[in-house]
Structure 1
Amino acid sequence: MSDQDQQSGVVAAAQDKIEIPHMSPYDVGNTLSVILHKDSPIPADVKILELHGPSTYSTVLSVSVSGRLLGSTEPSVRAILKICDRHFAEGLREEYKVGPWSLEKERCYADALASGRAAEFMWLLDTDDDVEAPAEPWDEAQNEVFIQSWYNDLCNDETRAYECLESLQGRQIPRFLSKVTVSRNPFAQVEGCGVDDNAFDIRGVLIEYIPGPSLEDLAEHVPPEHWQYCVDEAVQTVRTYANLPFLNKDVKTRNVIVSPAAMGWHHARVVMIDFGLC
Structure 2
Amino acid sequence: MADLNDARNTSLSTASTQEGKRVKIVHLSGPIRIILETDEPMEVETFTREQLELDGTERASPANNDKDFRVVCLSGPIQIHLPVDQLGAFRTISSEELCDNNEGQGTLFTPIDKNKPSATEFDCNNPNDTLSPFCPYIPGNEILLKASETGRPIRAKILKYFPATLSCCMVIRFLDPPIFNNTSECVLKLFDRRFSTQQREEREPWSPELENKYQKFVRCGDAEELFSYWNAEKEDFDEWSSAYVRNSRRWSAVKWETYLHWMSTTMYKVEKKAYEHMTDLQGEAVPKMLGEVVLDQAPVVPEGEDDPERMEEDSASISSIDPDEHPEVVSISGLLLQHIEGFHMTDVHEHLPYEHWQSTVDSAIEVLHRIQACGIVNRDINTRSFIVNPLTRKVMMIDYGLVGFREDCEDEQTWDMVQANQDEEGAVGQVMRAMLKGKGDGGKGIVYKPSERAWRLLYRFGSEEGEMEAGTEEEDEYVEKHKDFVFDK
TM-score where L is the length of structure 2: 0.47
Q: Equivalent residues in 2 for 1:138-157 (5 A)?
A: 138-157=251-270
The aligned runs of 1:196-215 (5 Å cut-off) are 196=320, 198=323, 200-215=330-345
- Confirm or deny: 8 A CA contact 1:90 1:100 kept in the other structure: no
Structure 2 spans left out of the alignment, 5+ residues: 1-42, 44-63, 66-131, 235-239, 303-310, 404-489
CA distance in 1, matches of 2:187, 2:360: 22
Q: Per the alignment, in what secondary structure is the counterpart of residue 45 of structure 1?
A: strand
Matched residue type, 1:144: E
Corresponding position: 1:41 with 2:151: yes
Larger RCO (alpha carbons 8 Å, 6+ apart): 1
How do 1:137-216 residues align onto structure 2 when only pairs under 5 Å count?
137-185=250-298, 188-189=300-301, 191=311, 192=314, 194-195=317-318, 196=320, 198=323, 200-216=330-346
Partner of 2:135: 24
Question: How do residues 1-278 of structure 1 correspond to structure 2 at under 5 angstroms?
Answer: 22-37=133-148, 40-52=150-162, 54-65=163-174, 66=177, 68-72=179-183, 77-94=184-201, 97-129=202-234, 132=242, 133-135=245-247, 137-185=250-298, 188-189=300-301, 191=311, 192=314, 194-195=317-318, 196=320, 198=323, 200-261=330-391, 267-278=392-403
Q: Distance in 2 between matches of 1:173 and 1:140?
A: 37
Separation in 2, partners of 1:217, 1:55: 17
Bigger shift: 148-157 or 63-72?
63-72
SS where residue 188 of structure 2 aligns? Answer: strand
Q: Which segment drifts farther, 85-94 or 43-52?
A: 85-94
Alpha carbons 2:387, 2:395 under 8 Å: kept: yes
Q: Distance between the aligned counterparts of 2:151 and 2:389, measured in 1? A: 32
Letter in 1 for 2:393: A
Q: More strand per residue: 1 or 2?
A: 1
- Equivalent pairs counted in the alignment come to 248
Contact 1:55 1:88 in 2 (8 A): no
Instruction: Compute the TM-score of the two structures, normalised by the length of structure 1.
Output: 0.81
Aligned residues: CA RMSD? 2.5
Structure 1 portions without partners, runs of 5+: 1-13, 262-266
Task: Tell me which residue corresponds to 2:416.
Answer: none
Task: Quote the sequence identity (%).
Answer: 28
Give the Å deviation of 1:205. Answer: 0.8
